[in-house]
A and B are shown apart, each in its own frame.
Chain A
Amino acid sequence: MSVGLQSMETDVVVLGAGPAGLAAAVSARSAGARVLLVEREDRVGGILKQCVHDGFGLEKFRERLTGPEYALREADAFRASGASLLTEAYVTSATRSGDSSFLLDCVSPRGVAQVRARALVMATGCRERTDRQVFIHGDRPAGIFTAGLAQYMVNVQGLLPGRRAVILGSGDIGLIMARRLTLEGVKVEGVYEIKSEPSGLARNVRQCLEDFGIPLYLSTTVTSVRGRRRVEGVTVAAVDGRSRPIPGTERELACDTLILSVGLIPENELAVSLGVPLDGATRGPRVDQNMHTLADGVFACGNAVHVNDLADYVSESGRVAGGAAAAWALGGPQARDLTPLRAGPGFLYAVPQFVDVLSGERGSVFFRSNATVAAGARVSLGAMKDDDRRELAAKTYPVLRPPELERLVLPPELPSGADSYILDMERMDGGGNDA
């Protein structure tokens, strides 16, 4: 096989063929742009391929699909769109070339290609936090896995990570893996969560833990790992209100496997290299309602922007990003007038962080509360002008929980001339927010 430098030119390059990238590619193609989708694996679908459980697509397809089924539908739509695909390919660098295009170095088994594109869509997903990113003492023998790696081993490779597992963190993948490992005959000793509330969805606590009698220990963490070649056990301890282990509460657990479900971080190395500013709360690019980052011509969607809990929302953001990227690529750089959209007290974050008042697309604001509001809350978006607040949209939510991403649909017309937009929370019990 000859390996040489090839060059290609296209309108929109989409990086990553998970649900965000597939939707972005389809949407950009249907807007008339030439599209190249670049995927590092040998097949599209992203992480959905290893999510063999069901519950996907309830919003988008009104059906309870498994991950692979959702991925197949999106892959079919992608094939029908006529967009191009490069698999087993990786973009190693991206630079701006003049005002209106980008140059990408793209490496694949077919050689190195230099791709020129007018717009980029970052659909690079997120990465799991590892044992190096959480505070655990002791040894580092074999037998410590992130939940997503354990899921890949069991569902794709057909390998069992161990026989007796402790799960640290109650993120959705950890809960899903507690059930998956139990079904495969692994003894799951329990799920340990440092926070006082589960990190995953309530339905997953029910159907993955309670269904199988797997205990969930809140305000408890793994403080130390023991083992020479292989994990032999872990120490768990209760923590105080500031997440510090409480002396005297330590317990020793025998296990050969420690599974970590301790958070996901948007992957934006390439975006950062292009000067895309990130949001400290989401750890993804700050975007406007078109999923346009603060770097002109660079769009982002899905879990690269913020960690979503539903694939359906990921697809939706891909559709928006792809359409906007196509318009940018075909119409040439357009003026933007970005007004900041801020989350008031009581929120972890809100996306988008800006509204481009010159753009027709309105979309939704997605947000998470920073604590459970059991009494429910009225969430409203206001336009601020000097010290005046004019309400633009509002919705009452029966309950707000940090693991559950909520949406507030924006009105079709937003007034121009606002200094900023602000998302506010009014608790139904009249309480303030102490977080």
Chain B
Amino acid sequence: MPETLNLTCIVCPRGCRLTVVKDGDAVSVSGHACPRGEAYGRQEAVCPLRSLTTTVRADGGARPRLAVRSSADLPLSRLLDAMAALDGVVVRAPVRAGDVVARDILGLGVDMLATDNLEEARHE
């Protein structure tokens, strides 16, 4: 019995309305305007993946939080688990954008990377 999903593509701001038909192992996508949209539709039918962007605690920096992102997309169903795993992470300033702040989150092979620079706090 084919299963039909109606999705909004999130790859770019265009927001194409996709129709994904899943029939056993066969997945077909329509409504996309580019190959990235088709790939997104296929992936949604199997296991939705999302990037994770958040902040972690920072000590000794000019600001108390550091913005971070996942180095690759994570399963949508694991985002809240990943947030919990990041609760205890504390970075020490200085940090440069691109620095790894946490390795291999939840054993998924994805690191968390700084997305901003954080200078040391100035003591006057």
Chain A interface residues toward B at CB < 8 A: 49, 52-55, 58, 64, 66-69, 72, 154-158, 180, 183-185, 201-203, 205-207, 211, 309-310, 398, 404
On whether the beta carbons of A49 and B79 are closer than 8 Å, the reply is no
A207-B10, A404-B15 are known; give 10 further A-B pairs, CB within 8 A: A52-B68, A66-B53, A68-B97, A72-B97, A158-B64, A180-B54, A207-B50, A211-B48, A309-B13, A398-B33
On whether the beta carbons of A183 and B65 are closer than 8 Å, the reply is no
Which residues of chain A come closer than 8 Å to B71, judged between CB atoms? none
CA distance A16 to B53 in the complex (A): 26
Contact with A along B22-61 (1 / 0, CB 8 A): 0000000000010000000000000010111111010000
Q: How far is the CB of A138 from chain B (nearest CB, A)?
A: 33
Q: Given known contacts A157-B64, A158-B57, A184-B83, is B13 in contact with A72 (CB within 8 Å)?
A: no
Which residues of chain B come closer than 8 Å to A53, judged between CB atoms? 53
Which residues of chain A come closer than 8 Å to B9, judged between CB atoms? 203
Q: How far is the CB of B107 from chain A (nearest CB, A)?
A: 20
CA distance A66 to B51 in the complex (A): 11
Q: How far is the CB of B21 from chain A (nearest CB, A)?
A: 18
Q: Given known contacts A52-B67, A66-B115, is B55 in contact with A155 (CB within 8 Å)?
A: yes
Q: Given known contacts A69-B115, A72-B116, A183-B80, is B50 in contact with A58 (CB within 8 Å)?
A: no
On whether the beta carbons of B8 and A205 are closer than 8 Å, the reply is yes
On whether the beta carbons of A203 and B13 are closer than 8 Å, the reply is yes
Instruction: Show 23 A/B contacts (Cβ-Cβ < 8 Å), sorted by A.
Output: A49-B116, A52-B68, A54-B53, A64-B51, A66-B69, A68-B97, A68-B115, A69-B116, A72-B117, A156-B63, A158-B64, A180-B54, A183-B52, A183-B79, A203-B8, A203-B10, A203-B15, A205-B8, A207-B50, A211-B48, A211-B50, A309-B13, A310-B13
Chain B interface residues toward A at CB < 8 A: 7-10, 12-13, 15, 17, 33, 48, 50-55, 57, 63-65, 67-69, 76, 79-80, 83, 97, 115-117
On whether the beta carbons of A58 and B12 are closer than 8 Å, the reply is yes
On whether the beta carbons of B8 and A206 are closer than 8 Å, the reply is yes
CA distance A64 to B53 in the complex (A): 12
Which residues of chain B come closer than 8 Å to A58, judged between CB atoms? 12-13
Q: Given known contacts A184-B83, A206-B10, A207-B10, is B51 in contact with A54 (CB within 8 Å)?
A: yes
Which residues of chain B come closer than 8 Å to A49, judged between CB atoms? 116
Q: How far is the CB of B56 from chain A (nearest CB, A)?
A: 9
On whether the beta carbons of A156 and B65 are closer than 8 Å, the reply is yes
Using CB atoms, name the residue of chain B closest to A172: B13
Using CB atoms, name the residue of chain A closest to B79: A183
On whether the beta carbons of A155 and B116 are closer than 8 Å, the reply is no
CA distance A205 to B68 in the complex (A): 23
CA distance A61 to B36 in the complex (A): 16
Which residues of chain B come closer than 8 Å to A205, judged between CB atoms? 8
Which residues of chain A come closer than 8 Å to B7, judged between CB atoms? 206
On whether the beta carbons of A54 and B69 are closer than 8 Å, the reply is yes
Which residues of chain B come closer than 8 Å to A69, judged between CB atoms? 69, 97, 115-116
Q: How far is the CB of B94 from chain A (nearest CB, A)?
A: 14
Q: How far is the CB of B17 from chain A (nearest CB, A)?
A: 8
